[in-house]
Amino acid sequence: MLCRVEVWAHDRWRIPLPNGHRFPIDKYRLLRERVQDRVTVLEAEPVPWEWLAAVHEARLLERIRLGELSVREQRGLGLPWSEVLVERGRRSVGGTVAAARRALEQGIGMNLGGGTHHAGRDFARGYCLFNDVAVTLAHLRSRDVARRALVVDCDVHQGDGTAQLLGPDPDAFTLSLHGARNYPFERIPSDLDVDLPSGTGDEEYLRALEDSLETALETLPEPDVAFFLAGADPWEGDRLGRLALTKDGLRARDELVLDRLLETGAAVVVVLAGGYAPDVVDTVDINAATVAAVAARDGALS
């Protein structure tokens, strides 16, 4: 029997948003509908609060749980608080944990969400409530199933929350490739930040990616687990990104990262991160191509 790759989704937890809000809530449902003939989509479970507390400050979690974020925090987060927002956030992390468990057993795993890299120990901002990658790594370490981790963050925005949480960690290496003039404007440095000029296209991007991946793997040659944030927002038509990759360029990016990471023998965990195309279908096209690249590489261990 031909086995299909399982991926995790949480699109049934749809947050209420004001009309015209830029957060692409529809992409999660549209992506599941697009790929469910090809992959098995499972429902992500919410992670327990204790797992979040391994990474995030207790007082921040309390404010999130009770809906007591300050006006300033609310504005920084950019999403209105609701009970479903919190539930969705916990399930988004749960999807990354489940994908990581699969990756440890079968080589690769994917969450149709996650990549919430602007969430730090004591802050939740830029549409990111909890840092799924850092929480997942802490969980894997607590179970003694992985220790050394590489994060390859290809979202167009710099991964400041992940940098805060994992940057100082000697067993983790954080690489972020992003638009130099994109949010966040005050950075927390990653182990390796690659600031790309506005308008950077496929060729220069792929060259910078290849070089920086090699540097990362020289520093941490045999990661147990590698997280790939396959952001759709370096696309040329993105509303928030300032780079100019084509859809073909993004597909080449996915293949380059996946092949290089699988080669190291690491468990490879793929998460979506951002994507803000004026027509959400373009973002879904890019994300679906990432799912296809993952599916094509599944079974490498069998």
Contacting positions for Zn ion (CB under 5 A)? 155, 157, 233, 274
Catalytic residue among 10, 56, 117, 118: 118
In a 13 Å sphere around the CA of 281, the CA atoms on its Cβ side amount to 1
- State the nearest-atom distance from the C-beta of 118 to Zn ion, in Å: 8
How far apart CA 302 and CA 300 sit, in angstroms, is 6
- State the nearest-atom distance from the C-beta of 274 to Zn ion, in Å: 3
- State the nearest-atom distance from the C-beta of 81 to Zn ion, in Å: 21
- State the nearest-atom distance from the C-beta of 287 to Zn ion, in Å: 13
Active site residue 56: no
How far apart CA 195 and CA 200 sit, in angstroms, is 10
Query: The tokens 């067993």 sit on which residue?
Result: 171
- State the nearest-atom distance from the C-beta of 201 to Zn ion, in Å: 18
Nearer to Zn ion, 24 or 94 (CB): 24
Are 226 and 266 in contact by the 8 Å Cβ rule? The answer is yes
E strand or H helix at 110: strand 108-111
Nearer to Zn ion, 10 or 157 (CB): 157
Q: What 3-state DSSP class applies to 289?
A: helix
Nearer to Zn ion, 93 or 229 (CB): 229
Nearer to Zn ion, 157 or 242 (CB): 157
Nearer to Zn ion, 98 or 273 (CB): 273
Closest CA to 180 of 196, 200, 162: 196
User: 265: which 2 tokens?
Assistant: 């023998």
Query: Measured between alpha carbons, how far is residue 273 from residues 57, 114, 122, 260 in Å?
Result: 22, 6, 20, 20
User: 117: which 2 tokens?
Assistant: 């890299």
Do strands 149-153 and 108-111 pair parallel, antiparallel, or not at all (unpaired)? unpaired
Q: Can you say whether the dihedral through the CA atoms of 62, 64, 70, 73 is positive or negative?
A: positive
- State the nearest-atom distance from the C-beta of 66 to Zn ion, in Å: 28
Nearer to Zn ion, 46 or 231 (CB): 231
Are 141 and 279 in contact by the 8 Å Cβ rule? The answer is no
Q: Which residues contact 41 (CB under 8 A, 6 or more apart)?
A: 6, 7, 8, 9, 32, 35, 112
Residue nearest to Zn ion (CB): 274
Q: Which residues contact 296 (CB under 8 A, 6 or more apart)?
A: none
- State the nearest-atom distance from the C-beta of 65 to Zn ion, in Å: 26
Are 160 and 229 in contact by the 8 Å Cβ rule? The answer is no
Nearer to Zn ion, 192 or 295 (CB): 192
Residues annotated catalytic, as ranges: 118
